[in-house]
Structure 1
């Protein structure tokens, strides 16, 4: 008897978390390059040891409806959050926000890139992982992007934007 109530409560919490991180998604997609893997990222909570690019933060460039964008080694789109402060060493996306916008992490001291011209670095995440940055801004995935080429997080809430190879927000 309590199951419908718990489902409703869970849906309400998820809706509130998404609203706090920027509202509803767009519907754009990119065409992955031939070199892009077709495997979707694994679902992982921000505190899990398994994230979409846990084996190393390979970053590359892909074509999209908004031009060239930065993606991970599997072709998954990466995003900036306008509430982050450049070179602050911290992320403004915390707690419930991270469920919708998981961080892009690496195990490498020097993440590898192909075609990305911005300055790549890392900051410590709250759980001790290496959160990848580009030009001093933390990078994130969008949980609703399920396959390489998805860019449904572009412009969400007017605060989440795709990233150019030079490390600029694409608005």
Structure 2
């Protein structure tokens, strides 16, 4: 009897998640992954994607930040963490091609340790099936927006990188990220 109740409660939770996620501006269909691990090899690197140089874990999977997080504290647990696995570590992550002083860790309330970069807790996305995938960019779920993390530690915010330099040679200035 308790097993039937537990299964029914799980089905209700999945249905509630589906309703909550249906308001995404990208109309993402988000479901828990069918395998895999939420623990990275605890390494940070950069890789080239359509968004330019971005952070990846030791397996080459794109790393994301969540705007709902406050400082280095994660707000992504339970169902969120099954879809957006925290980049977990048991020590100081090794790094290559990133600013070492920006690499850190933060304690999670589930008693694991999550990798941070430039003060942001880092996550992978269960629906990125291979290195270089950036399918989670700009999704609005779990109380915030998910962004690929650039090599500078800031969100790339959905604008694919230019393939050639701008003739003006300058940027737009500002630098505000509005999140």
Scaled by the length of structure 2, the TM-score of the pair is 0.68
Q: Give the unaligned 5+ runs of structure 1.
A: 27-40, 45-49
One of 151, 158, 164 as aligned partner of 1:165 = 151
Counterpart of 1:12 in structure 2 is 15
Q: Do structure 1's residue 126 and structure 2's residue 109 form an aligned pair?
A: yes
Over 3 Å counting, the alpha-carbon distance change for 1:19 and 1:85 in structure 2 is: farther
Over 3 Å counting, the alpha-carbon distance change for 1:128 and 1:8 in structure 2 is: closer
Q: Do structure 1's residue 116 and structure 2's residue 116 form an aligned pair?
A: no
Partners of 2:89 and 2:115 within 8 A in 1: yes
Q: Do structure 1's residue 60 and structure 2's residue 45 form an aligned pair?
A: yes
Inter-partner Cα distance in structure 1 for 2:25 and 2:122: 16
Scaled by the length of structure 1, the TM-score of the pair is 0.71
Higher relative contact order (CA 8 A, sep 6+): 1
Inter-partner Cα distance in structure 1 for 2:77 and 2:20: 10
Over 3 Å counting, the alpha-carbon distance change for 1:138 and 1:15 in structure 2 is: same
Partners of 2:139 and 2:146 within 8 A in 1: yes
Q: Do structure 1's residue 136 and structure 2's residue 119 form an aligned pair?
A: yes
- Aligned pairs for 1:135-154 within 5 A: 135-154=118-137
SS in 1 for 2:137: coil
How big is the shift at 1:99? 2.0
How big is the shift at 1:94? 2.6
Q: Give the unaligned 5+ runs of structure 2.
A: 158-179
Q: Who wins on radius of gyration, i.e. which is larger?
A: 2
Q: Do structure 1's residue 77 and structure 2's residue 80 form an aligned pair?
A: no
Partners of 1:21 and 1:97 within 8 A in 2: no
Inter-partner Cα distance in structure 2 for 1:73 and 1:17: 32
- Aligned pairs for 1:18-37 within 5 A: 18-19=21-22, 24-25=27-28
How big is the shift at 1:123? 0.8
RMSD: 3.1
SS in 1 for 2:131: coil
Partners of 1:43 and 1:51 within 8 A in 2: no
